[in-house]
C-alpha cells in the first residue's frame, strides 16, 4: 500500500470513529444504579412537585435514580412528543403521564399494570376512571389525578353588584358577566366578564362538550357509537358561545389555553373563569391579586337542567419499550398511591382518584371545594374516547376545528355541525343518531 493510500485509510477510519461512539447507549449507567425516566407536565407547579416527590423516592431507594422530562403544556403537543418516542420504540422514557383520552388510542405501547401488582391498589380508585383506562382487560394507566371543569367566580364582585350567588344557567352567566364587566370597565379597561379556553386544541373540545352536554345536545358520539352532534341543542349551545366572543369574553379568547385564561383571571381582570381545579391553589397564592376573593362552583346548566363538567385527569403508564418495567411500574404505583395523591391534593389541589380520600379532613381544610363538589367529580361527562377509539384524536380535531370556526365567525353553527356530521361519518363509519 502506498503512502497516499495509507493516509486515505487513516482519514477514513478517523472520520468513521464518531459513528462508533454514537452507537454506544446514551448515558453510561454506573453498575447497580437504575435510571427511571418519567415524562411529566409543567403546568402550574407540576414539575417542581414531581421533582420533590422523586427526591423522596430516591432517598428510600438508593439504587434508583429518577429523571423527569418536562413536556409541552398543550395536550396535542405533548401527544406529538410521545408519538415520536413510540415510533422509535425508544427505551429513553419509562413512565409516561397520559391524558384520560389516550388509553384507547395508545394501548399498544403500554404494559399491563395488572402484571406488576396493580390489582391491590386498583379497586380503591373511581371505577369509571379505571374502566376508562382498561383496554381489552389490560390496565394501560394507573389513575393519578382526576379533573373536571369548574366555574370560578369572584365573590367580592358578586357582592358588589348585589348578586345572591353564582349563576345557575348559561343565560344567567351571560347577564351577570355583562353587568359586572360594564361596571368594572370604568376603573379597569382590561376587565372582561368570562374567560375560558377557546384555542383550536383539545381544551376547546372539553369546554364545548360542557356547553353542549349541559344543553341536552349529547356527547358528539354516543357511547353506543352513533354520531349525535348534529342536533339543534348542540347548534344552539355553540352559537351561544360564539356570541360571548367580543361581548363578555375578549376577542382573543379564541386563542386562549388554560394558562392564558388563568393569567387573566389571577391578575383580577375577569369576573368568571372556566378552568380545571389546579387554578384554585394558585389563585390563593400570596402573589395572587385575587387571594381569598373567589370560589368555585359547578358549571351552569342549559336546557337539560343540570350543568356538565368534562372529565379530565391524568394517569401514569409504563412503556413496553422500557428496559426496567418492574422498577418503573413500582415507581408509578408509588406515585399513584393514596399518601402521594393526598400530598398532591393538599399542595396543588389535584383531585385524588381514591374514593376514600374525599373524607380526609386535611384535604378538606386545604381545598374545601373538593369535598363539596364530590358529586361533580364522580358525575363528570367523559369525552367519547372509548366510542371512537382508536380514532379519538382525529374526531377531536374535527370537532374543535368546527367549533373554532363558529367562534371566530367563519361559519354559522348549523353549517359547521352539518359538515362535522358528514366528516365524522367519513372518518368513523358510524350511523347518525339522536343524543
Residues 414-433 that bind another protein (CB under 8 A): 415, 418-419, 422-423, 426
Q: Judged by CB under 8 A, which of 52, 190, 362, 375 binds another protein?
A: 190
199 near another protein (CB under 8 A): yes
Q: In angstroms, rounded to a whole number, what is the distance separating the alpha carbons of residues 153 and 333?
A: 36
Q: In angstroms, rounded to a whole number, what is the distance separating the alpha carbons of residues 99 and 112?
A: 17
Residue 70 main-chain phi, psi, to 5 deg = -85, 140
38 near another protein (CB under 8 A): no
| Stretch of 40-48, 140-148, 363-371, 403-411 contacting another protein, by CB under 8 A | 403-411
76 near another protein (CB under 8 A): yes
CB 190 → another protein: shortest distance, Å? 5
Q: Cβ(229)–Cβ(399) under 8 Å?
A: yes
127 near another protein (CB under 8 A): no
CB 137 → another protein: shortest distance, Å? 19
Q: Cβ(417)–Cβ(103) under 8 Å?
A: no
Helix ranges, 229-356 (H): 232-244, 258-266, 278-283, 325-335, 338-348
Q: Cβ(392)–Cβ(105) under 8 Å?
A: yes
Q: Judged by CB under 8 A, which of 35, 83, 175, 282 binds another protein?
A: 83
Size of the site for another protein (CB under 8 A): 46
222 near another protein (CB under 8 A): no
188 near another protein (CB under 8 A): no
Q: Scanning the structure block, which residue is given the C-alpha cell 371545594?
A: 369
CB 24 → another protein: shortest distance, Å? 18
Q: Cβ(418)–Cβ(231) under 8 Å?
A: no
C-beta of 201 vs 294, nearer to another protein: 201
Q: Judged by CB under 8 A, which of 65, 401, 412, 432 binds another protein?
A: 401
Helix ranges, 24-154 (H): 46-60, 75-87, 103-106, 119-122, 127-133
356 near another protein (CB under 8 A): no
Q: Judged by CB under 8 A, which of 128, 168, 397, 432 binds another protein?
A: 397
Amino acid at each position: 500500500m502506498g503512502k497516499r493510500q495509507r493516509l486515505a485509510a487513516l482519514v477514513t477510519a478517523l472520520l468513521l470513529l464518531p459513528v462508533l461512539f454514537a452507537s454506544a447507549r446514551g448515558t453510561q449507567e454506573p453498575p447497580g444504579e437504575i435510571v427511571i425516566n418519567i415524562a411529566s407536565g409543567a403546568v402550574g407547579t407540576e414539575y417542581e412537585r414531581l421533582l420533590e416527590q422523586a427526591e423522596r423516592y430516591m432517598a428510600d431507594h438508593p439504587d434508583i435514580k429518577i429523571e423527569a422530562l418536562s413536556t409541552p403544556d398543550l395536550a396535542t403537543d405533548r401527544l406529538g412528543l410521545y408519538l415520536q418516542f413510540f415510533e422509535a420504540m425508544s427505551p429513553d422514557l419509562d413512565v409516561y403521564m397520559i391524558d384520560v383520552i389516550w388509553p384507547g388510542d395508545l394501548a399498544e405501547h403500554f404494559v399491563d399494570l395488572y402484571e406488576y401488582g396493580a390489582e391491590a391498589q386498583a379497586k380503591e380508585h373511581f371505577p369509571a376512571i379505571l374502566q376508562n383506562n382498561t383496554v381489552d382487560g389490560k390496565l394501560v394507566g394507573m389513575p393519578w389525578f382526576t379533573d373536571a371543569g369548574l366555574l370560578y367566580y369572584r365573590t367580592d364582585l358578586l357582592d358588589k353588584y348585589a348578586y345572591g350567588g353564582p349563576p345557575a344557567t348559561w343565560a344567567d352567566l351571560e347577564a351577570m358577566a355583562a353587568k359586572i364587566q360594564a361596571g368594572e370597565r370604568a376603573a379597569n379597561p382590561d376587565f372582561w366578564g368570562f374567560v375560558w379556553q377557546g384555542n383550536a386544541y383539545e381544551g376547546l373540545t372539553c369546554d364545548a362538550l360542557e356547553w353542549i352536554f349541559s344543553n341536552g345536545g349529547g356527547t358528539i358520539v354516543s357511547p353506543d357509537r352513533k354520531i349525535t352532534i348534529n342536533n339543534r341543542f348542540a347548534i344552539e349551545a355553540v352559537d351561544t358561545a360564539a356570541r360571548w366572543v367580543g361581548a363578555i369574553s375578549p376577542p382573543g379568547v379564541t386563542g386562549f389555553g388554560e394558562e392564558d385564561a388563568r393569567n387573566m383571571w389571577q391578575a383580577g381582570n375577569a369576573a368568571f373563569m372556566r378552568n380545571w381545579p389546579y387554578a384554585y391553589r394558585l389563585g390563593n397564592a400570596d402573589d395572587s391579586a385575587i387571594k381569598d376573593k373567589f370560589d368555585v362552583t359547578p358549571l351552569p346548566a342549559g336546557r337539560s337542567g343540570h350543568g356538565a363538567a368534562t372529565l379530565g385527569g391524568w394517569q401514569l403508564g409504563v412503556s413496553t419499550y422500557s428496559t426496567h418495567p418492574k422498577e418503573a411500574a413500582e415507581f408509578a404505583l408509588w406515585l399513584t398511591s393514596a399518601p402521594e395523591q393526598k400530598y398532591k391534593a393538599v399542595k396543588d389541589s389535584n383531585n385524588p382518584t381514591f374514593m376514600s380520600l374525599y373524607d380526609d379532613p386535611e384535604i378538606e381544610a386545604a381545598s374545601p371545594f373538593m369535598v363539596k363538589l364530590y358529586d361533580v367529580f364522580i358525575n363528570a361527562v367523559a369525552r367519547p374516547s372509548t366510542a371512537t377509539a382508536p380514532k379519538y384524536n382525529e374526531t377531536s380535531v374535527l370537532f374543535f376545528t368546527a367549533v373554532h370556526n363558529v367562534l371566530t365567525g367563519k361559519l354559522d353553527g348549523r353549517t359547521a355541525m352539518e359538515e362535522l356530521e358528514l366528516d365524522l361519518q367519513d372518518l368513523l363509519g358510524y350511523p347518525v343518531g339522536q343524543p
